[in-house]
A and B are shown apart, each in its own frame.
Chain A
Amino acid sequence: MRSGASDERQAERPPIVFVEKQANAMRISAVTPGAAALGLTPGLSLADARARVPDLLAIDRDHGAERRLLGRIAAACIRYTPMVAAEPPDGLVLDISGCTHPYGDEAGLTADLSRRLKREGIAHRAAIAATPEAARALARFGSSQAERVEAAGRSVSLSTLRQAQGEYGRVEALKALPVAALEAAPEVELALRRAGLKTIGDLAARPRAMLAARFGDLPIRLARLLEEEDRRITPDRPLPAIAAVRRFAEPIARMDHALSVLGELVAETGVALEARGQGGRRFEARFFRSDGAVRALAVETGRPARDPAMLMRLFRERIEGLRDPIDPGFGFDLIRLDIARADPMAADQPGFDEPARIAEETDALIDRLATRMGRGRLRRAAPRESHIPERATLSVDPAAGIPAWRAPMPGEPPLRPLHIFDPPQPVEVMAEVPDGAPKWFRWRGRDYVTLRSEGPERIAAEWWRRRKNQGLIRDYYRVEDVSGRRFWLFRSGLYGEQEALPRWYLHGLFA
């Protein structure tokens, strides 16, 4: 947040400052234009500020809320380009190469962005340059042409960039920036100023080798700032494989209309996917409302898919399953569909193969349910190499391939329970010392008298998983009580050797 000293709107009453605890004192860390006009600056202690302006309103600074706001703005900027990177606490970089045609040119895009931000009351500065560093420096340190809007103490500086050759005017503007724009270490900046190098232009006139000898990486920063060396930005979201966008001159306010547009986009991307011999695994639809709010919906499939009818069914399921329905408000002015993940997919061939058809239809059912419930709720069990019963199962995605489970020995009764408790339930047990089976036990306030039992089956702890405590040996018993219920109990530790008085647990219930 930065302060704007010259602001004619002094309407806010009382002036607001944002405070933060720094070195054991409450200090101002950000101010509103109104407060700045009264001479309050960041760094001032709150006590001093109150002495000067008694009716000051001090609010705790909430970095989390600022980050969230920045995240929301970044999400909304996806309407311009998928290459959006947030630079916390208050910067955004957009790579708008090749994205400007709907707005005429770069200036048109910037104007559109500024208009939207202004409407939301977000103070910002935007600059366009050929490298992220140059754009950032122009937005933050440039003075002349940078636009400035201030409101309600919220401000975000935006830098936009373009991968084009630098124009003469911009190079001049860059050269006029103070050396602080390099954002080098404070001592470097101080040394430069002491040497009489005040602007980037001064520095650029010096031989680079000398600067490197004295200041290390400074020439690299300089080159990036002067648009001589390009560094691509890393977008916050991975770039989609395929994307399709629809813009509307007149916002559409009806959800069924929006869905039919989404259907067109799905069909469009389907054609593109088919051309590549791919199918999508994750489809993300974004509805951009004209007031800046963005609603994102994602649909995942177990196997690559591109059938528009099936995908639209999934999207409808997803929308039906939403806890808070999508509110078009005053309408959507842009709908975007990203295929975030695509995998190779063979051309469609109506299957004569019965097992393949069954597998396919089962996957379709899983996708349908997963869209509504969330994929994490649908699982299959895969075996895992572990003797510890609660670790012997891995819960995997239903579409995953699962190795075969060990088949039970013919003729044996079930040796593992159908239901298992994790963690095991503590029970009171009466058993012969040292290794007798339980004769009686109490679980959940009820007594059970054991009639038959088998055991112990000894399962040693996985000592390699623990560093200090080796873990206790478990002696498992299969027991059946007088009414025929079958339980799986274990004693944790050996009498006398590992534990003075080992504890007993109920670990599972047999059918």
Chain B
Amino acid sequence: MPESSPSFAALKRQFAMSEPCSDARGRFALGCPTIDTALGGGLARGRLHEVFAAQEEDGASTAGFALMLALRACDAGETIFWIRQEAGARIAGRIHAPGLAELGADPRRILFADTPDEAATLRAAADALRSPVIGAVLIAPWGKAPMLDLTASRRLTLAAEQSGVTAILLRGAVEPPPSAATSRWRVSAAPSIPLEADAPGHPAFMVDLLRHRSGLSASGWRLEWDRDRLAFRAPPLSVALAPLAAERRADAERRFG
């Protein structure tokens, strides 16, 4: 319908103007210029962002990335509320507080809630999101989480919008269901840049932006976490070749070792 297209374009413009950045607390940058420019200055505060693991084994990396997003989203010293379904702790391991400190998150800032089931997880999340004094809420249901449908994600988004608290939904390696989230990421572990003596380096990820409300096309980045600055950074290009070479060497070792 050609006659409808001008109004459609106007509508689109209107939407673009009312998009996330319009709220008071604005956006939070990830700290890495390439990704921040692509995102138009960062991710929206007071919205729901989803983080999925590429594979079950990437669970720890995904949790790390979600925590880092939460750290970026809130001001220094603000409480991060980490709601975790108990089943997750049994299978994927407990959260280790010294490990949080190693990622730059002071464990004193983090408030944990162990929820018995999915319903309790969502309910606690909705409650926590209504409290504007919380910096960010990390919601980690376990498994397929069938109750977490479009309606549930809308409810979370609404609560986040009203209070301005950023919600980060941490999921496993599941098929992303339809949701009202502002952005959706898929995370996998990436080979780190080795330190001296070939020691594993800083946390590195391969992140794919699967979806974004403002219509960004899907794209992927390689990121490294800089704990001292509490920011992401792009790893130096030259090292991007390292895993290939290393893989070859590992292959050789497998063959001869």
List residues of chain A with CB under 8 Å of any chain B CB: 357-358, 361-362, 364-366, 368-369, 372-373, 377-381, 383, 389, 392-393, 398, 402, 404-408, 410-411, 413-422, 439-440, 446, 449-454, 478-480, 482-486, 508-511
Within the complex, the shortest CB–CB distance from B44 to chain A, in Å, comes to 22
27 of the cross-chain contacts (CB-CB < 8 Å) are A361-B131, A362-B111, A365-B127, A380-B110, A381-B97, A381-B100, A392-B98, A402-B107, A402-B108, A405-B97, A405-B101, A414-B102, A418-B67, A418-B99, A418-B102, A419-B93, A420-B94, A440-B254, A452-B246, A454-B195, A454-B200, A483-B189, A484-B191, A485-B189, A486-B192, A509-B59, A511-B68
A429–B104 CA distance with the chains assembled, in angstroms: 31
Residue from B65, B106, B110, B195 in contact with A413 in the complex, judged by beta carbons closer than 8 Å: B195
Q: For the complex of A and B, list the 5 residue pairs with the smallest distance between their C-beta atoms, beginning with the closest.
A: A511-B64, A381-B97, A509-B60, A419-B93, A414-B102
User: B225 an interface residue at 8 Å Cβ cutoff?
Assistant: yes
A413 touches B98 (CB 8 A): no
Q: How far is the CA of A385 from the CA of B181 in the complex (A)?
A: 42
Known: A413-B203, A419-B94, A484-B243. 9 other contacts (CB 8 A): A362-B79, A365-B134, A379-B112, A419-B95, A421-B94, A454-B197, A480-B192, A482-B191, A486-B60
Q: How far is the CB of B250 from chain A (nearest CB, A)?
A: 5
Compute how far the CA of A451 lies from the CA of B133 in the bound complex, rounded to whole angstroms.
44
> With A373-B113, A379-B114, A413-B199 in contact, is A484–B99 under 8 Å at CB?
no
**Which residues does chain A contribute within 8 Å of B197, judged by CB atoms?**
454
Q: Footprint of A on B, CB under 8 Å?
A: 57-61, 63-65, 67-68, 79, 92-104, 106-108, 110-116, 120, 123-124, 127-128, 131-134, 188-192, 194-195, 197-204, 206, 225, 227-228, 243, 246-247, 249-250, 253-254, 257
CB pair B253 A439 closer than 8 Å: yes
Q: Given the complex of chains A and B, what is the CA–CA distance between A36 and B13 in angstroms?
A: 93
Given A439-B253, A454-B197, A486-B192 in contact, is the A380-B111 Cβ separation under 8 Å? yes
| A421: B residues at CB distance < 8 A | 93-94
A508 to B200, CA, bound (A): 15
Cα(A200)–Cα(B120), bound, Å: 63
- Tell me which of A369, A380, A389 has the highest count of chain B C-beta atoms within 10 A of its own C-beta: A369
Write the chain B residue with the least CB distance to A361: B133
How far, in whole Å, are A449 and B98 apart by their CA atoms in the complex? 27
Q: Across the interface, do A373 and B115 meet the contact criterion of CB distance under 8 Å?
A: yes
Q: Closest Cβ of chain A: how far from B197's Cβ, in Å?
A: 7
Which chain B residue lies CB-closest to A405? B101
Inter-chain contact A413/B111, CB cutoff 8 Å: no
Complex CA gap A440/B251 in Å reads 12
Q: Is the CB of B100 within 8 A of A480?
A: no
Contacts known (A362-B133, A365-B128, A393-B96); A511 close to B253, Cβ less than 8 A: no
Q: Is the CB of B228 within 8 A of A365?
A: no
B111 touches A366 (CB 8 A): yes
CB contacts (< 8 Å) of A415 on chain B: these are 102
Q: Is the CB of A451 within 8 A of B227?
A: no
B99 adjacent to A414 (CB under 8 Å):
yes
Min CB distance, B224 to chain A, in Å? Answer: 10
Q: Interface SS of chain A: helix, strand, loop or mixed? A: mixed
Query: Is there an interface contact between B94 and A422, defined as CB atoms closer than 8 Å?
Result: yes
B residues within 8 A CB of A479? 200
B61 touches A485 (CB 8 A): yes
The residue in chain B whose Cβ has the minimal distance to the Cβ of A420 is: B96
CA distance A219 to B137 in the complex (A): 68
Give bound CA distance, A452 to B193, whole Å: 10
Measured between beta carbons, the chain B residues less than 8 angstroms from A446 are 57
Known: A369-B128, A439-B257. A484 touches B112 (CB 8 A): no
Taking a contact as CB atoms under 8 Å apart, the answer to whether A453 and B198 are in contact is yes
With A373-B113, A405-B107, A414-B103 already in contact, the answer to whether A453 and B96 are too (CB < 8 A) is no
Chain A residues in 8 Å Cβ range of B131: 361-362, 364-365
A362 to B132, CA, bound (A): 9
A383 neighbours in B (Cβ, 8 Å): 97-98, 107
Q: Is B198's CB under 8 angstroms from A452's CB? A: yes
Docked-complex contact A408 and B102, CB < 8 angstroms: yes
B98 touches A405 (CB 8 A): yes
Alpha-carbon gap, A178 to B204, bound state (A): 86
Q: How far is the CB of A378 from chain B (nearest CB, A)?
A: 5
Chain A residues lying within 8 Å of B133, measured Cβ to Cβ, are 357-358, 361-362, 365
Are A378 and B120 also in contact (CB < 8 A) when A414-B203, A416-B102, A483-B189 are? Answer: no
A368 to B111, CA, bound (A): 14
Give, as a whole number of angstroms, the nearest-CB distance from B231 to chain A. Answer: 14
Task: Tell me if A418 and B95 are in contact (CB < 8 A).
Answer: yes
Which A residues lie within 8 Å of B199 (CB)? 413, 452-454, 478
Shortest Cβ distance from B45 into chain A, in angstroms? 17
Residue pair B100, A485 in contact (C-beta under 8 Å)? no
CA distance A361 to B96 in the complex (A): 27
